Structure 1
Amino acid sequence: MAGATQAVAASPPPALAHVFDLAVEVGPAQELGEVGGGRRRVIPITGGSLAGPGLSGEVLPGGADWQTIRPDGVTLLQARYTVRMSDGATIGIINTGVRRADADVVRRLTAGEDVDPALYYFRATPIFEVGPGPYLWLTESVFVSAGARRPRRVELGVFKVA
């Protein structure tokens, strides 16, 4: 077991490098009601954009964010959507995460208010589905995102874990 401790100690700590930003436009929530574990909502994804150094694309309509709001107010997020890059390539994104805040902030976010992102925690781990080509590197690393929920869109900064 001593060897495992030495290996962990010798590994450099993870660092983050900003890769791109997403502005994901959303429609009105579809309330499904109480399900096992909380209240289920489906948020349709209607469009948006991806922008970063040397990267640009359009978020296509047709995706959705399936949310479960637990009794403790924590929201579990699972979004799935597609981006068409400026060169015509398509990238599938599966973004699973957590948003949490105190009860008043949760109420305001659920009501569609614009709330200062410093008042809540919103993190996710995107996974990318791509074909062979210039975006294959997205399948070779771990990524995390930090988010902000706006009244008609979600803003995500996406970072590569080095």
Structure 2
Amino acid sequence: MTDALHRRTLLKAMPALALTGAATPLAATPPAALATPALTLAMRLRVLIGAPQELGMVDGVRKRIIPITGGTVEGPRLTGRILPGGADWQSIRADGTADILARYSIAASDGTILSITNPGYRHGPAPVLARIAKGEAVDPALYYFRTTPRFDVASDGPHAWLGRTVFLCTAARYGDHVALDIFAVG
């Protein structure tokens, strides 16, 4: 009974302690500058794509699915091939922004199968997006296309590092493929 009474008294006093400056020493100490993370190229992907499958307007957003039919993975940290069977599910907003969610698999050069989930955004000026939609090669500097890939891998395998690293990707859309440079965030 005494312990319960002591806890209630302490809990009632906590707001008063905060007002009297009990938290001031922590708040008064300026935080040290945090390190700016480095980006290191981990791999380059060339993801082959099929014709978009238009679903139409769903809840006020244009939806489409773009099949992933294959491709290659080259890089200092991973090489292999993109397996057919994945897709990029896109929601195209009224302002032209493509909200992207791609899921597909990679067969690493050592035979290991890896799964990748790659969400992101692509947007830019309407005339540039229209050229991309026509399949024209457009300078990637003219539009924004970034993703944040995540990998599902065996935690005890040679590619376990993929499952515990944050990645940032810069991308470009072409008529028959998407080029992706995937960077490990240090």
* TM-score for the superposition, normalised by structure 1: 0.93
Distance 1:143 1:113, change over 3 A: same
Give structure 1 regions of 4+ aligned residues with deviation exceeding 6 angstroms.
none
Query: Which structure: larger Rg?
Result: 2
Match of 1:161 in 2: 185
Amino acid across the alignment from 1:133: G
Give the distance between the partners of 2:56 and 2:29, measured in 1 at CA: 47
Give the distance between the partners of 1:3 and 1:121, measured in 2 at CA: 40
Instruction: Tell me if structure 1 keeps the 8 A contact 2:41–2:76.
Output: no
Match of 2:158 in 1: 134
Q: What secondary structure, in the 3-state scheme, does the structure 1 residue paired with 2:84 have?
A: coil
Q: Percent identity?
A: 49
Q: What secondary structure, in the 3-state scheme, does the structure 1 residue paired with 2:132 have?
A: helix
**Aligned to 2:174, which of 126, 143, 150?**
150
Match of 1:92 in 2: 115
Q: What secondary structure, in the 3-state scheme, does the structure 1 residue paired with 2:35 have?
A: coil
Unaligned runs of 5+ in 1: none
Instruction: Tell me if structure 2 keeps the 8 A contact 1:82–1:92.
Output: yes
Q: What secondary structure, in the 3-state scheme, does the structure 2 residue paired with 1:73 have?
A: coil
Q: Which has the higher contact order (CA 8 A, sep 6+)?
A: 1
Instruction: Tell me if structure 2 keeps the 8 A contact 1:37–1:68.
Output: no
Unaligned runs of 5+ in 2: 1-25
Amino acid across the alignment from 2:54: E
Per-residue CA deviation, residues 59-103 of structure 1 (Å, 9 max, x unaligned), is 000000001110011111000000001111011000000001111
Distance 1:15 1:29, change over 3 A: same
Q: What secondary structure, in the 3-state scheme, does the structure 2 residue paired with 1:2 have?
A: helix
Higher relative helix content: 2
Amino acid across the alignment from 1:141: T
Match of 1:61 in 2: 84
Give the distance between the partners of 1:33 and 1:3, measured in 2 at CA: 55
Amino acid across the alignment from 1:161: V
Amino acid across the alignment from 1:70: R
- RMSD between superposed Cα atoms in Å: 1.5
* TM-score for the superposition, normalised by structure 2: 0.82
